[in-house]
Amino acid sequence: MADGVRRNRMFHLSGPAMRLAIGMLPFTLFFLSCGNLGPPNPEEIFRRASPSVYVVSVMDTFSSRPARFGSGVAVAKDLIVTNRHVLGGPQPRTGSVLVSRGKVAWQAFPLHYDRSADLAVLVVPGLTAAVASLAAPTSLQAGQPVFAIGAPQGLELTITEGLLSAVRQLGKEEGGEMLQVSAAISPGSSGGGLFDRRGRLIGITTSFIKSAQGLSFAIPPEVIDAEMRATGYAYSRAFAIGLANAQAGNFAKAEGLLRESVALQSDFCEGWLALGRLEVEHEPTAPALQRATSVCSDRSEAWTSLGQALERQASALEGQVMVGMSSPTPDIDRRVRDLRTQATAAFETGLRLSPDDPSVWMDLGDTLHELEESERACQAYREVLRLVPGHLKAMTQLCIVLGNTKAAIEQCTEVVRFAQLQPESPDRTYALAQGWLVLAGSLEKIGDFQRAREARAKQQLWQQIFLELSRRGPDPEFVRRRNARADAVRPLLPILEERLGR
């Protein structure tokens, strides 16, 4: 009993001491609450947040390897949000999108694009993801710790730590409000998650400044929330199912759904682009692409796609003359030249918007070559080689455009030397056939007939190989991969339609 009394006395306070303790109580509670905001635990944050983060890959049609990749965050069990620039433009026939984690991958379909915010939402049939908890915008304060989780350089589930440096109010063209953070991000991090100390999603990592350290940017939660609401729009649902049907080979149904999406939302840029790329197969005038250049005049891919369609029309007219379907007339020649002049203007507009795109420079060079504007064509091919050193097709085309000149000897010699070191491919065979052909003509022009004969013999050999490859038609492996992709998509269509309420 005495022990019990002594224990009670240990906690007994006199009147003055009691008043002092009560007076200090608010300060005690303040320090206790601050104790809950002590140093964040990165291990715990990673445990909570990382299950919602995935790798997003756009697959190359020809090689079945990733052509581009980034990250994505699950905002619903079968919805992944990522950056729009990770996906590129909508490709209705090609460019299947995969969402993966470890060795498991799921087919995904673009459901909604927002080019001004640089966000896209993917629907992933069959995915049951752990969903990120979205923080309230009012919870953001400069100086708070933040954690970025993504796949920089393809290194899946990488976490970096930093601070929320500032909330920046940018112009609408620059994306509106953005979060400036010091957490390191790299190519491949785009579309990944930015999380707070409680593991809540506070942003989608989107860009960084290469020339500065600790200057990264993320899209804030209120914009993510707006994108989620947009996925319920009817035009978004028609768009997603339309692209899925195109990948499954149901082109008529795909075209109908894409037309429905732009009828419901007349300024839907991605819908017009996808429809234009699909209809150009049977509608040479490409009216949807013409419309796309009006709806999204600031988008390089709209102008580039239009240029490709116009060049395709010109080539089709020439082809009709070559096979005897049409007789050569001045009117056809004039029409072909007009189409290529329009294509050149479209490519040049695309390059003003995206000057470092080698594929557009290549298209421009080819069209200028057909127009016999050799000097400008050479400039375009040299731009390709500046951006992509060792680009075999650009090297070959430059050799051809230079023609039977002294300058061609050096260029064509480099082409055949470089091509011989490359693995077997149609581009390699074409490079060797054309390289030896132009080299033979150039050597004859300067009177070096011995070397010219040797070059001519090699040209005839490679030309025969090239013609043999051409007669075989499409690469069987490419056809097999294309059919396999369509077969993989078809069983997902009923799931997708039920998910999107069609």
Residue 182: both structure tokens together: 């010091």
State the pairing for strand pair 177-181/53-59.
Answer: unpaired
Distance CA 467, CA 315 (A): 20
Cα-based distances in Å from 501 to 260, 295, 303: 15, 28, 34
Quote the CA–CA distance of 278 and 247 in Å, as a whole number. Answer: 11
- Catalytic residue numbers read 85, 118, 190
Instruction: Tell me the CA distances in angstroms from 254 to 16, 234, 243, 304, one per residue in order.
Output: 83, 15, 6, 22
Please identify which residue in the block is written with the tokens 């075999």: 392
Token pair 């430059």 is found at: 398
Q: Find out whether 42 and 157 touch, Cβ atoms under 8 Å.
A: no
**Radius of gyration over alpha carbons of the chain, in Å?**
30
Helix 492-499 with 476-489: angle, nearest 10 deg: 40
Q: How far is CA 331 from CA 284, 337, 342, 401, in A?
A: 18, 10, 16, 26
Angle between helices 287-295 and 269-279 (to 10 degrees): 160
